[in-house]
Amino acid sequence: MRLYPSAAFLAAFALTAGFAQAETTLSVLLDGNAETIAAMEALTAAYTAANPDVTFSIENRPGGSEGDNLVKTRLATGEAGDIIQYNSGSLFQALKPAQNLADLTDLAAQANVIDSFKSVVTAEDGTIRGIPFGPAMGGGIYYNKKIYSELGLSVPTTWAEFMANNEKIKAAGKVAVAQTYGDTWSSQLFVLSDFYNLQAVVPTFAADYTANKAKFASTPAAVTSFQRLEDVFKAGYLNPDFGVAKFDEGVRMVATGEAAHYPMLTFALGNVKQNYPENLNDVGFFAQPGDDASKNGLTVWMPAGLYIPAASEHQDVAKDFLSFVASVEGCNLMIGANGATGPYLIKGCELPADVPPAVAEMLPYFQKEGGTAPALEYLSPVKGPALEQITVEVGSGIRPAAEAAALYDQDVEKQAKQLGLPNW
């Protein structure tokens, strides 16, 4: 005799199964950039399609120091949720990762991750705490190709050539350089992107700086990085609303030709694709030039990382999702969401042949021997938290470059002591 379940049992089972479809919800804390959101939405949708019992609750945090403080506070209080997206390198170190983040050293997907990324998400105890989210980035200058063509300009390989281009652009009645100090973090680019040039002059700067043997204020090439920011302000090259304009507006200006240049990281190309796709081919990119054309190269930022807070109650599920992100499939989903904005650090993940012009102009730096150098924050754990406020002051004509370098040295000292570094 064959037994069949009763109608009541089937109803109860259906109800239980309905609940099971969403038995785990992972909370994710992200920055609010359009390309970050697009990539995460693509990844979470694909993961939930394959794992219907897992859903996601996504929260966007502010950028800059406000966002930094939010992440640190949430981690300290055990309220950071299940997954956070945050910087790698020195800002990662400031999170006290061995204390606040889950150990991902034994995550099987680490075999897919290129070693250069692992080094910038390794805690002080030698354990790996993150996986890459997004592509490696260059720090440099976006330019509007139509304006360059109209005015007969060439891509500069020295700072003097860059300033000469700006003068011609200003003379033509156009905004030469968009700046967006309404998002204070964006004010740092002329200083941070100049590190390739600083290192070319002082190769030992990163190690000496970490060991408290070198200072910005007493290293002329380091003061020059602040001077670049002061120079473009004094020359009157900026958009009139530079003090309140936001990152999205800077992207719009260079994409649509409202401005000729925008100093920024190459992740912003995802924003162009999301919001101004018709202008994607109008945007080019070059490394921030220094004083020697023979030493022209690109300062490189590692991708942000995805991390699991130590207080997460769903670590096993979160680790499985991170393994998916660190796969070729996950990588391809990110490329599909935002296009190819730079090289991904997942083995086997290849960029398509038809990359946008800005990416095509960036890749040769990676292909040239000595054509790139990591940003200082990946060579040293020391980065002062007040840099973005200091650079706003320099870029607004409030504080001269030399004074800003000295002030930043004071800011850095506080951070180094908090990290317990020797010689400080």
Clarify whether residues 234 and 294 are in a common domain. yes
* Helix and strand counts by DSSP (H, E) for the chain: 20, 11
For the ranges 11-25, 105-119, 393-407, which has the lowest average pLDDT? Answer: 11-25
Give the tokens for residue 238. 């900026």
Q: What pTM was estimated for this model as a whole?
A: 0.80
Clarify whether residues 208 and 330 are in a common domain. no
**Domain annotation covers residue 6:** no
Residue 19's pLDDT is: 38
Confidence of residue 7 (pLDDT cuts 50, 70, 90): very low
Residue 22's pLDDT is: 52
Q: 143-156 pLDDT, tens per residue?
A: 999 999 999 999 99
Unique residue bearing structure tokens 């499939």: 329
Give the tokens for residue 219. 């290293």
When pLDDT is averaged across residues 104-111 and rounded to a whole number, the result is 96
When pLDDT is averaged across residues 17-46 and rounded to a whole number, the result is 85
256 CB burial (10 A radius; 0-12, 13-18, 19+):
middle
Clarify whether residues 162 and 284 are in a common domain. yes
Residue 69's pLDDT is: 93
Percentage of the chain modeled with pLDDT above 70: 95
Print burial letters for 206-230: b (CB count within 10 Å at least 16), e (below 16). beebbebebbbbebebbbbbbbbbb
**Taken in order 60, 271, 394, 242, is the CA torsion positive or negative?**
negative
Radius of gyration from C-alpha coordinates of the chain: 23
In this predicted structure, the answer to whether residue 17 has a pLDDT above a threshold of 60 is no
Residue type for position 415:
Q
Residue 341's pLDDT is: 84
CA–CA dist 283, 264 (Å, integer): 12
Clarify whether residues 283 and 331 are in a common domain. no
Domain count, the chain: 2
Clarify whether residues 193 and 270 are in a common domain. yes
C-alpha pair distances (Å), 143 with each of 160, 214, 221, 256: 16, 34, 25, 11
Across 145-242, the runs of DSSP E, i.e. the strands, are: 175-177
Residue 12's pLDDT is: 42
Residue 9's pLDDT is: 40
Residue 289's pLDDT is: 98
Average per-residue pLDDT in the chain?
A: 92
CA–CA dist 249, 173 (Å, integer): 19
Residue 1's pLDDT is: 37
Clarify whether residues 275 and 401 are in a common domain. yes
Clarify whether residues 254 and 334 are in a common domain. no
| Structural domain for 177, as ranges | 139-301+365-419
Clarify whether residues 132 and 163 are in a common domain. no
